């Protein structure tokens, strides 16, 4: 994790700006022999792609990925995989107003303060458009997981929009792909639809969200204490996504309110191996996977680019009011769902490789 690179053994470096000619990910350390073609990656990019419905930005980008290296005759060669996505629908004139102004709650001001200059077109490097590159890298990770850890499944979904949460009693995995919000609760999804329409059209506002991402089928023993714990790297992975302000593993912040007796996931030996009475731990103990579902949750703040005026200053220090026109997501959390899946897949693959590097698959027997 250094500047624009993520990962230990399976590493990717993302590059590109919102309104430059292209963006992408340089993926290094992928195992050799993994079947990979553009369609394997495209399917995930299509989930994240903007302009698909009225609830996300109207910027219309095909987000077509090109594999420029690292694959020969449909299989990875173990050398770097360059994934490039061209930008096609830049409208930089939309941003003329903010060239010399800082949107409150946006990275405009901090990039300017740090670097002394910034690419203001569409937020430049700080744009959530960077996350397309992560999704592409995540597509490679998923293919590789299919080879090295068959059975791992990663699924993200939204559990809260603004103050409106799902009802866990109505949780249905099959609903997740059937609405614009990756929402497992169809009743909530319908409510969110109305709320977001009002927020966008009438209130000229935006709203935050909570996303949960679950990995099933993760083998026990993955993770590397003390500073490369599985939960440490997952926290870093999610917090690195634009607009994320909180990350939870298992019980998360609610763990504070529990007692040790309540929080204990009791252990039993079942017919097919270990079972647990509960999963407060979110599948991770001491930074290492238990074999239970790995459960991560994170909060996305509301988009700072809104049509409602907010007080700010210009680069020369004079006061102004900022109203952001352009094309923006009223709830950027929606598109964070496939991004979080990609980051989860990358972290898991990376740790599976790290583990087999150090331990060679040595495992302690139980029973």
Quick one: 154 or 218, whose CB is closer to its own copies?
218
Residue from 207, 334, 339, 348 binding its own copies (CB under 8 A): 207
Phi/psi for 14 (5° steps) reads -95, 155
Segment lying near its own copies (by CB under 8 A), choices 35-43, 44-52, 120-128, 174-182: 120-128
| CA separation for the pair 290, 258 (Å, rounded) | 21
According to the binding rule CB under 8 A, does residue 313 interact with its own copies? yes
Structure tokens belonging to residue 285:
């103990």
Distance CA(85)–CA(22), nearest Å, equals 6
| 367 in contact with its own copies (CB under 8 A) | yes
Site track for its own copies across 289-308, x = CB under 8 A: xxx-------xxxxxxxx-x
- Report in angstroms how near the CB of residue 174 gets to its own copies at its nearest: 25
Which residue in the set 52, 62, 75, 146 belongs to the binding site for its own copies (CB under 8 A)?
75
Pick from 38, 51, 52, 112: which binds its own copies (CB under 8 A)? 112
Task: Indicate the pairing of strand 81-86 with strand 75-76.
Answer: unpaired
Task: Give the interface size with its own copies as a residue count (CB under 8 A).
Answer: 164
Among 174, 194, 202, 266, binds its own copies (CB under 8 A): 266
C-alpha to C-alpha distance for 327 and 154, rounded to whole angstroms: 30
**Residue 143 near its own copies by CB under 8 A:** no
What is the separation of C-alpha 74 from the centre of its chain, rounded to a whole number of angstroms? Answer: 27
CA-CA distance, 246 to 238, in Å (whole number)? 9
150 binds its own copies (CB under 8 A): no
Answer whether 234's CB lies under 8 Å from 247's CB: yes
Question: What character string, x for contact with its own copies (CB under 8 A) and - otherwise, covers 36-55?
Answer: --------------------
Q: How far is 204 from 261, CA to CA, in rounded Å?
A: 47
Provide CB contacts within 8 A for 51, sequence distance 6+: 57, 58, 59, 60, 61, 89
The verdict on 16 binding its own copies (CB under 8 A) reads: yes
Choose the binding region for its own copies from 91-99, 135-143, 176-184, 214-222 (rule: CB under 8 A): 214-222
Under 8 Å between Cβ of 296 and 344:
yes
Q: Which residues pair with 224 in a beta bridge?
A: 228
What Rg, from alpha-carbon coordinates, does the chain have? 21
Interface with its own copies, residue 11, by CB under 8 A: yes
> How many angstroms separate the Cα of 280 from the Cα of each of 68, 252, 351?
43, 9, 22
CB count within 10 Å of CB 106 equals: 19
Q: How far apart are CA 329 and CA 208, in angstroms?
A: 11
Tell the smallest beta-carbon distance from residue 337 to its own copies (Å): 14
Q: Does 323 bind its own copies (CB under 8 A)?
A: no
Q: Which of 38, 51, 92, 274 binds its own copies (CB under 8 A)?
A: 274
Task: Tell me if 189 contacts its own copies by CB under 8 A.
Answer: no
Contact 209, 299 (CB under 8 A): yes
Nearest alpha-carbon partner for 59 in 87, 22, 101: 87
197 counts as binding its own copies under rule CB under 8 A = no
* Near its own copies in 152-181, by CB under 8 A: 160-163
Given 110, 187, 198, 201, the residue binding its own copies (CB under 8 A): 110
Q: Which is nearer to its own copies, 57 or 174 (CB)?
A: 57
* Pairing assessment for the beta strands 164-165 and 288-289 based on DSSP bridges: unpaired
Choose between 174 and 287: whose C-beta lies nearer to its own copies: 287
With binding defined as CB under 8 A, does residue 129 bind its own copies?
A: no
CA 77 from centre of chain: 27
CA 317 to chain centre: 35
CB of 290 to its own copies, least distance (A): 6
Q: How far is the CB of 362 from its own copies (least distance, A)?
A: 5
**Residue 64 binds to its own copies (criterion: CB under 8 A):** no
Q: Which C-beta is closer to its own copies: that of 64 or that of 285?
A: 285
The answer to whether 258 contacts its own copies (rule: CB under 8 A) is yes
By CB under 8 A, tell whether 263 contacts its own copies: yes
């Amino acid at each position: 994790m250094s500047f624009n690179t993520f990962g230990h053994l399976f590493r990717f470096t993302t590059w590109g700006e919102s309104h430059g000619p292209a963006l992408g990910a340089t993926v290094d350390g992928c195992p050799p022999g993994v079947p990979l073609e553009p369609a394997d990656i495209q399917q995930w990019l299509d989930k994240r792609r903007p302009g698909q419905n009225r609830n996300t930005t109207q910027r219309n980008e095909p987000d077509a990925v090109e594999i420029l290296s690292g694959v020969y005759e449909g299989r990875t060669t173990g050398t770097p995989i360059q994934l490039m996505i061209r930008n096609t629908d830049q409208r930089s004139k939309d941003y003329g107003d903010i060239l010399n102004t800082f949107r409150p709650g946006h990275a405009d001001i901090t990039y300017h303060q740090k670097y002394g200059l910034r690419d203001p077109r569409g937020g430049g490097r700080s744009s959530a458009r960077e996350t397309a590159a992560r999704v592409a890298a995540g597509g490679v990770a998923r293919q590789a997981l299919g080879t090295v850890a068959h059975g791992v499944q990663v699924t993200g979904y939204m559990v809260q929009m603004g103050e409106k949460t799902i009802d866990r009693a109505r949780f249905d995995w099959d609903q997740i792909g059937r609405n614009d919000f990756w929402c497992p609760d169809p009743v909530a999804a319908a409510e969110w639809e109305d709320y977001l329409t009002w927020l966008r059209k009438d209130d000229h506002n935006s709203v935050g969200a909570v996303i949960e991402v679950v990995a099933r089928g993760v083998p026990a023993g993955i993770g590397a204490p003390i500073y490369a714990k599985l939960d440490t790297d997952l926290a870093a992975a999610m917090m690195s996504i634009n607009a994320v302000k909180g990350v939870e593993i298992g019980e998360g912040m609610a763990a504070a309110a529990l007692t040790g007796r309540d929080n204990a996931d009791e252990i039993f030996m079942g017919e097919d191996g270990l079972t647990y009475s509960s999963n407060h731990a979110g599948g991770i103990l001491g930074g290492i996977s238990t074999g239970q579902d790995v459960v991560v949750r994170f909060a996305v703040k509301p988009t700072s680019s809104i049509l409602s005026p907010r007080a700010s200053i210009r680069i020369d220090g004079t006061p102004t009011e900022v109203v952001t026109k352009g094309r923006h997501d009223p709830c950027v959390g929606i598109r964070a769902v496939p991004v979080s899946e990609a980051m989860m897949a990358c972290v898991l693959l990376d740790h599976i490789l790290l583990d087999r590097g150090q331990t060679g698959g040595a495992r302690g027997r139980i029973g």
